[in-house]
């Protein structure tokens, strides 16, 4: 088993981190569009999306069966599946992998749930160290104004309601996500997270991101298959069909 | 009290000192007869007046079904499988074993962390990583290890369910068919168990003897740690 920092792949891994409402997903989508237009092959992987594990997590959350420990372990299982199936193979093939949330999400959330920080860091030892990990930093108050749909959009575990910090979901969200922000802040130095001030305009943030990513692309392969190739082969196939009939 | 302890960094919000029951582990590789002996022990313990909870791998309310479904497919990787099992184990530890121990039950578990650690390391996981992952487990009162040779395991498997994909470690591609793979995989597991035997103080029982003899031996190991029977023996 290769551990964090020991993998060597021709591809690049860019990850975004930050609390809900920080705008990180929007920024990552814009980055992906740009990279593809530049001719790079990209793969996108999102937190908590493994087809193998998703149903267990969903049920556990819906029925509120998760303890801090099983919450931590099931997310690690999901992440392991994505690492084994969706992150390592494309990186080996020289692609650019873009991850919406990464191990730092687990470190921040599980820590805020009272799980031992050293234990969680060990749990994720199998993770590939990102080329760059962006942290979209924003206050909880500002993030809350951006969560579309208002208070109904705040989810039980996202608000740390399992921690019984407050009976009010908005207040609980404030307290729990506050602890998550503190944990992120403490990881800036520990993991060399690249901080983006998420209170700035979308364009400003994206420009900064692209500037930083550009520097990390020296020597990266442009593996995206251009559309004209497809059109060309389609035209050829249709000619052959016409000739045959 | 204060008998129980975690291996390392324990579960948040669990005070092991307040647990009263007994945690009895039966370990051994596939086909060694663990479930037969769990059944016999349960009867014996209950006839002595002990309340028994029995549990085993992939039986958790949270992850049991999902893990079984994942094993049906063909994309389950080594690290993912290890962590899926760890989730299943944690759910059973927190929601079955610990509440039962708190209530003074004898908890009989068909496999514990040791099988999971063996499977993970045989699949290339770093042993220190695996050990640390399972640090949240409680140290059992006793670990009975049913030991058999690979030849004996082959005979038993042939008499019962036949070779299957996972028990043969087919995901590791150790041999060209189920038989070759089973032998290679189980040999590696047995070696991993042997390494753990001293470190975790396994009580080794030779599983090649008759069911009766093995069962008597296990009962003999458990007897000293149990409270005396609830009622005197009815004369026969």
pLDDT digits (tens, 9 = 90+) for B138-192: 999 999 999 999 999 998 888 887 888 888 998 888 888 999 999 999 999 999 9
Average the pLDDT over B214-222 and give the result: 97
Closest CA in chain B for residue A112: B12
- Taking the CA of residue B63 and the nearest CA in chain A, the distance in Å comes to 6
* CA neighbor of B153 nearest in space, from B14, B25, B31: B31
- pLDDT of A107 above 50: yes
Mean pLDDT for A239-243 is: 75
Of A53, A73, A84, the CB nearest to B79: A84
Return the higher-pLDDT residue of A19 and B1.
Answer: A19
Distance CA B189, CA B150 (A): 10
The predicted pLDDT at position B227 comes to 85
Instruction: Give the mean model confidence (pLDDT) for residues A29-39.
Output: 95
Secondary structure in 3-state letters for chain B: CCCCCECCCCCCCCCHHHCCCEEEEEECCCCCCHHHHHHHHHHHHHHCCCCEEEEECCCCCCCHHHHHHHHHCCCCCHHHHHHHHHHHHHHHHHHHHHHHHHCCCEEEEECCHHHHHHHHHHCCCCHHHHHHHHHHCECCCEEEEEECCHHHHHHHHHHCCCCCCCCCCHHHCCCCCHHHHHHHHHHHHHHHHHHHHHHCCCEEEECCCCHHHHHHHHHHHHHHHCCCCCCCCCCC
pLDDT in tens, B13-39: 899 989 999 999 999 988 888 999 999
Nearest CA in chain B to A72: B87
Specify which of A105-109, A141-145, B12-16 reaches the highest per-range mean pLDDT: A105-109
| Chain B contact for A106 (CB, 8 A cutoff) | no
Residue A230 has pLDDT above 60, yes or no: no
Phi, psi for B40 (deg, rounded to 5): -65, -40
Of A55, A114, A126, the CB nearest to B66: A55
Residue scoring higher pLDDT (B17 or A136): A136
Contact A176, A163 (CB under 8 A): yes
Q: Once rounded to an integer, what is the mean pLDDT over residues A19-33?
A: 95
Instruction: From chain B, pick out residues whose CB is under 8 angstroms from the CB of A67.
Output: 90-91, 94-95
pLDDT at B1: 43
| pLDDT of res. A61 | 93
The per-residue pLDDT for A226 is 57
How many other CB atoms are found less than 10 A from the CB of residue B77? 18
Query: Would the CA dihedral through A180, A181, A186, A189 be positive or negative?
Result: positive
Per-residue pLDDT, B113: 97
Among B235, B222, B180, smallest CA distance to B22 is for: B222
- The verdict on B68 touching A (C-beta cutoff 8 Å) is no
Position B12 pLDDT exceeds 50: yes
A50-80 pLDDT tens trace? 999 999 999 999 999 999 999 999 999 999 9
CB pair distance less than 8 Å for B129 and A77 = no
- Specify the residue for token string 């009962």: B219
Asked if A56's CB is within 8 angstroms of B62's CB, the reply is yes
Distance of CA B177 to the CA centre of its chain: 27
What A2-7 contacts at long range (C-beta under 8 Å, 24+ apart), as own/partner pairs, is: A2/A126, A3/A125, A3/A126, A3/B126, A3/B129, A4/A124, A4/A125, A4/A126, A4/A127, A4/A128, A4/A129, A5/A129, A7/A88, A7/A91, A7/A128, A7/A129
Interchain contact B129–A (C-beta under 8 A): yes
**Whole-number Å distance between alpha carbons of A186 and A195:** 12
Mean pLDDT for chain A overall? 91
pLDDT score recorded for residue B173? 85
Structure confidence by residue, pLDDT tens digits, B63-87: 999 999 998 888 899 999 999 999 9
Give the separation between CA B166 and CA B196, rounded to whole angstroms.
22
User: What is the token pair recorded at A12?
Assistant: 């690049």
pLDDT recorded at residue B74: 80
Q: What is the pLDDT of residues B177-200, one digit of tens each?
A: 999 999 999 999 999 999 999 999
The pLDDT of residue A224 is above 90: no
In the block, residue with structure tokens 């082969």 = A233
The per-residue pLDDT for B236 is 63
A38, A112, B158, B235 from A42: Cα distances, Å: 11, 32, 49, 78
Whether chain B has a CB inside 8 Å of the CB on A119: the answer is yes
Write down the pTM of the prediction: 0.90
Q: Is the pLDDT of residue B204 over 70?
A: yes
- Regarding an ipTM greater than 0.85, the answer is yes
Kindly tell me if the per-residue pLDDT of A234 is higher than 70: no
Residue of higher predicted confidence among A216 and A239: A216
Please determine, for residue A148, whether its predicted confidence score (pLDDT) is greater than 70: no
Q: Give DSSP secondary structure letters for chain A.
A: ---TT----SSEEEEEE--TTS-HHHHHHHHHHHHHHTT--EEEEETT--TTTHHHHHHHHHTT---HHHHHHHHHHHHHHHIIIIIHHHHHTTPEEEEES-HHHHHHHHHHTT--HHHHHHHTTTSPPPSEEEEEE--HHHHHHHSTTGGGG--TTTTTGGGTS-SSHHHHHHHHHHHHHHHHHHHHHHHT-EEEETTS-HHHHHHHHHHHHHHTTTT----PPPHHHHHHHHHHHHHHHHHH-
Closest CA to A112 of A35, A200, A183: A183
A87 or A147: which leads in pLDDT: A87
Q: Please report the domains of chain A, with CATH numbers, ordered by start residue.
A: 12-244 (3.40.50.300)
Angle at A60 between CA A57 and CA A61, to 5 degrees: 85
* A222-228 average pLDDT score: 65
Q: Which domains does chain B have, with CATH numbers?
A: 21-225 (3.40.50.300)
């Amino acid at each position: 088993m290769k551990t964090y920092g020991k993998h060597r792949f021709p591809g690049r891994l860019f990850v975004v981190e930050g609390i809900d409402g920080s705008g990180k997903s929007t920024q990552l989508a814009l980055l992906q569009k740009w990279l593809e237009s530049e001719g790079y092959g990209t793969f996108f992987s999102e937190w908590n999306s493994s087809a193998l594990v998703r149903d267990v997590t969903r049920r556990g959350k819906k029925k509120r069966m998760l303890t801090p420990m099983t919450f931590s372990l099931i997310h690690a299982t999901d992440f392991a599946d994505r690492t084994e199936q969706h992150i390592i193979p494309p990186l080996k093939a020289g692609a650019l992998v873009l991850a919406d949330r990464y191990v730092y999400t687990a470190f921040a959330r599980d820590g805020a749930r009272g799980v031992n920080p050293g234990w969680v860091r060990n749990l994720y030892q199998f993770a590939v160290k990102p080329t760059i990990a962006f942290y979209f930093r924003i206050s909880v108050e500002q993030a809350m104004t951006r969560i579309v749909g208002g208070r109904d959009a705040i989810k039980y575990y996202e608000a740390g309601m399992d921690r019984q910090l407050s009976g009010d979901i908005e207040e609980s969200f404030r307290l729990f996500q506050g602890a998550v922000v503190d944990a992120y802040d403490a990881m800036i130095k520990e993991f060399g997270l690249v901080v983006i001030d998420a209170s700035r305009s979308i364009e400003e943030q994206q420009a900064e991101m692209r500037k930083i990513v550009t520097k990390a692309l020296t020597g990266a392969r442009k593996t995206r298959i251009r559309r004209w190739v497809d059109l060309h082969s389609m035209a050829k196939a249709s000619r052959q069909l016409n000739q045959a009939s | 009290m204060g008998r129980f302890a975690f291996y390392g960094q324990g579960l948040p919000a669990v005070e092991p000192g307040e647990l009263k029951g007994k945690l009895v582990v039966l370990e051994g590789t596939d086909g060694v007869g663990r479930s037969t002996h769990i059944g016999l022990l349960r009867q014996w313990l209950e006839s002595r007046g002990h309340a028994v909870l029995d549990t085993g791998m992939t039986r958790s309310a949270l992850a049991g079904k999902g893990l079984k479904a994942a094993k049906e497919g063909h994309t389950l990787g080594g690290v993912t499988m290890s962590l899926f099992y760890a989730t299943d184990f944690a759910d059973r530890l927190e929601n079955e074993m610990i509440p039962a121990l708190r209530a003074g039950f004898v908890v009989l578990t068909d496999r514990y962390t040791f099988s999971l650690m063996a499977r993970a390391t045989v699949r290339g996981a770093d042993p220190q990583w695996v050990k640390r992952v399972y640090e949240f487990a409680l140290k059992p009162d006793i670990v009975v290890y049913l030991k058999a040779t690979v030849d004996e395991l082959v005979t038993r498997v042939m008499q019962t369910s036949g070779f299957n994909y996972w028990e043969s470690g087919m995901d590791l591609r150790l041999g060209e068919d189920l038989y070759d793979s089973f032998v290679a995989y189980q040999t590696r597991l047995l070696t991993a168990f042997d390494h753990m035997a001293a470190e975790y103080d396994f009580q080794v029982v030779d599983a090649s003897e008759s069911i009766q003899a093995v069962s008597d031996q296990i009962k003999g190991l458990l007897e000293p740690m149990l409270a005396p029977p609830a009622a005197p023996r009815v004369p026969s």
